[in-house]
């Protein structure tokens, strides 16, 4: 990795950490992937897909924005959910700017109220992005802008559609204005600090979220048992385990004749191949670890 450029090389430059926070399913990961032009944070229609803090770097001619995509903030009870929310709230303490995302089409008042309470207690400068404006009439949008301008002293309120790419440049411009002066924090051209091994595990977990229903996605964790290159870098071999909490969940995940696990494996392999740019051999296993989401040691082992 190249050393960080000297500050003298970047006159009038701005750089800072931007924490992306919001209620579950507000579109935070979709926004990050759109801004970077590459998928590093997994998504699904189900809430609480993101469990870890995901870092992404966006370079602009006179600025560098280091985004921290976070899990959805809500009032949590289960041990896993408490840890997930702690990850999101921890990002508020690290950030130079907080980007609050809210779903303009669906109100999640309890989670939003909880988030605003936490935001006020930290007094970090913040911008509100009202997402999914393509799904609501303009009259409702104007009412939402008026409402949230009275609830909290946001530096700016920017209506966007992360999925459609609407007004994302306006959002970036608003964020750049709020960043502190200083040199880049990462070498220009950096995308993330995540390893391909970690992202591969997340891509597998995303397919579990997208291709299974009921409680299975929330009872599943993925570990990468082995990740290695072969054939001079032309092949990546990955052996991974999907952990669930009950035998019934294992049966659903495997499916009749192994069909569901094969579907998850094929979809994961194709996505990982797009990321690494070469052929991938992926072998998936399923293991039952009873009540792992309530087990402190298991949560630590799985990286939560």
DSSP 258: G
- At 51 the pLDDT is 76
The pairing of beta strand 63-69 with beta strand 14-22? parallel
For range 81-102, the mean pLDDT: 83
Match 């929310």 to its residue by tokens. Answer: 85
Pick the range with the lowest mean pLDDT from 4-8, 191-195, 199-203. Answer: 4-8
Percent of the chain with pLDDT over 70: 95
Quick one: which of 75, 141, 148, 84 has its CA closest to 110? 75
21, 28 in Cβ contact below 8 A?
yes
Residue 204 has pLDDT above 70, yes or no: yes
Give the CATH architecture of domain 7-178.
3-Layer(aba) Sandwich (3.40)
For range 134-162, the mean pLDDT: 94
In the 3-class helix/strand/coil scheme, how is 217-245 assigned residue by residue?
A: HHHCEEEEEEEEEEHHHCEEEEEEEEEEC
Give the CATH architecture of domain 196-301.
2-Layer Sandwich (3.30)
Residue 154 has pLDDT above 90, yes or no: yes
Burial label for 228, CB within 10 Å (0-12, 13-18, 19+), is exposed
For range 137-162, the mean pLDDT: 94
Please determine whether the domains at 7-178 and 196-301 fall in the same fold group of CATH. no
According to DSSP, the residues that pair with 99 across neighbouring strands are 20, 127
Q: Which two tokens stand for residue 302?
A: 């799985």
Instruction: Report domain extents, the chain.
Output: 7-178, 196-301
Strand segments, DSSP code E, in the chain are: 14-22, 54-60, 63-69, 97-103, 126-131, 156-159, 221-230, 235-244, 279-288
Model pLDDT for residues 274-304, shown as the tens digit of each residue: 999 999 999 999 999 998 988 888 888 878 7
Task: Identify the residue with better confidence: 185 or 1.
Answer: 185
| Whole-number average pLDDT of the chain | 89
According to the per-residue pLDDT averaged within each range, which of 114-128, 158-172, 209-223 is highest? 158-172
Residue 75 has pLDDT above 80, yes or no: no
For range 224-238, the mean pLDDT: 94
Quick one: which of 245, 243, 232, 239 has its CA closest to 278? 232
Q: What's CA 269's distance to the chain center, in Å? A: 20
- At 77 the pLDDT is 66
Rg (alpha carbons) of the chain, rounded to whole number: 20
Q: Which two tokens stand for residue 37?
A: 């032009």
For range 97-106, the mean pLDDT: 93
- At 299 the pLDDT is 81
Model pLDDT for residues 1-56, shown as the tens digit of each residue: 444 444 446 788 999 999 999 888 899 999 999 999 999 998 888 777 877 888 99
């Amino acid at each position: 990795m190249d050393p960080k450029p000297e500050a003298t090389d970047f006159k009038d430059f701005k750089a800072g950490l931007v924490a992306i926070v919001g209620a579950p399913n507000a579109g935070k990961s979709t926004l990050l992937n759109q801004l970077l032009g590459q998928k590093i944070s997994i998504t699904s229609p189900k809430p609480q897909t993101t469990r870890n803090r995901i870092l992404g770097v966006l370079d602009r001619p006179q600025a560098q924005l280091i985004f921290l995509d976070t899990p959805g903030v809500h009032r949590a009870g289960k041990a896993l959910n408490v840890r997930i929310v702690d990850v999101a709230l921890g990002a508020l303490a690290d950030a130079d700017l907080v980007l609050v995302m809210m779903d303009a089409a669906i109100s999640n008042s309890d989670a939003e109220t909880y988030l605003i309470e936490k935001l006020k207690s930290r007094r970090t400068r913040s911008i509100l992005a009202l997402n999914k404006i393509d799904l609501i009439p303009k009259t409702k949008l104007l009412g939402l802008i008026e409402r949230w301008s009275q609830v909290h002293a946001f530096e700016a309120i920017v209506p966007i559609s992360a999925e459609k790419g609407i007004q994302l440049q306006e959002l970036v411009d608003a964020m750049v204005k709020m960043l502190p002066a200083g040199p880049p924090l990462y070498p220009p051209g950096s995308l993330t600090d995540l390893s391909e091994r970690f992202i591969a595990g997340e891509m597998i977990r995303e397919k579990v979220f997208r291709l299974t229903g009921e409680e299975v996605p929330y009872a599943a964790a993925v570990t990468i048992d082995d990740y290695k290159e072969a054939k001079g870098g032309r092949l990546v071999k990955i052996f991974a385990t999907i952990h669930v909490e009950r035998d019934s969940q294992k049966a659903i995940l495997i499916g009749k004749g192994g069909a569901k696990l094969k579907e998850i494996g094929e979809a994961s392999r194709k996505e990982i191949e797009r990321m690494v740019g070469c052929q991938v051999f992926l072998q998936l296993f399923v293991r039952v670890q009873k009540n792992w989401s309530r087990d402190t040691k298991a949560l630590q082992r799985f990286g939560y």
